[in-house]
Amino acid sequence: TQVLGKNGPLAGKKLVISAGGTREPVDPVRYLGNRSSGKMGYALAEEAVRRGASVRLVSGAVDKPAPFGVDIKYTETAMEMFISLREAVKGADALIMTAAVADYRPEKPAADKIKKGDGELDLHLVANPDILASLQGDFVKVGFAAESRDLMINAVKKMADKNLDIIAANDISQPDSTFGSDTTRLTLFFKNGRIEEMPLMSKQEAAVRLLDELSALL
């Protein structure tokens, strides 16, 4: 008998994928979030399952059903995502980090709902850990970068700083490649210096292309 999802070119491989945006609480009813839709990460999870991989998807808040055959864990804050991913990468073959992680969080969320006052409200933010840079191990690491300027310089610097094998950079100054879009225009930068400029395509197609490249490294 065939075990569903365990046949294919990635059978026996364990992939960890993060997706969506984080939410950092301000008070019991408010948060700091971002416009990440989760589409890229969910498309990658679906494609990896199709290829027989065992997939752990660590998802921020997204307006999407869980992909079929994926082991999903929902997280809210960057710290929660960090803790889940730290566990998930143990024994993993690859980590693909598509999540839009908040760089900052309110230092101390208010225990009670903040009442409006007459004047201004100051929110003090502290830095979140860099999850991708912190997670090190014997697995292939793929990062994403959304840049509005100096795409190549910024992407290559992030690849080095976070010790990545591939960084998929997305030029969000292009009108068809914005956050939340169904399409994306990615440029892949590889550790060995190779650059693969991909045309505008659906996030499903981009997932296929990226997993082809990743599979060659596994």
Q: Which residues are catalytic?
A: 34
- Which of 13, 14, 50, 158 binds ligand CTP (CB under 6 A)? It is 158
- Which of 59, 75, 128, 187 binds ligand CTP (CB under 6 A)? It is 128
On whether 144 is known to bind a ligand per the annotation, the reply is: yes
Asked if 197 interacts with Ca ion (CB under 5 A), we say no
Q: What are phi and psi of 28, to 5 degrees?
A: -60, -15
On whether 129 is known to bind a ligand per the annotation, the reply is: yes
The full length of the chain comes to 218
Distance CA(111)–CA(49), nearest Å, equals 41
Tokens 């301000």 found at: 26
On whether 130 is known to bind a ligand per the annotation, the reply is: yes
Asked if 212 interacts with Ca ion (CB under 5 A), we say no
The span of 2-10, 97-105, 107-115, 194-202 binding ligand CTP (CB under 6 A) equals 97-105
Question: Which residues on neighbouring strands pair with residue 25, listed in sequence order?
Answer: 31
* Burial call 169-184: b when 16+ CB within 10 Å, e when fewer: bbbbeeeebeeebebb
| Nearer to ligand CTP (CB atom), residue 36 or residue 54 | 36
Contacts of 99 (CB under 8 A, 6+ apart): 18, 19, 20, 21, 22, 36, 41, 58, 60, 81, 131
- Which of 145, 172, 206, 207 binds ligand CTP (CB under 6 A)? It is 145
Q: What is the smallest separation between the CB atom of 8 and ligand CTP, expressed in angstroms?
A: 26
Binding positions for ligand CTP, 6-65, rule CB under 6 A? none
Using CB under 6 A, list all residues that contact ligand CTP: 78, 97, 99, 101, 103, 128, 130-132, 143-146, 158
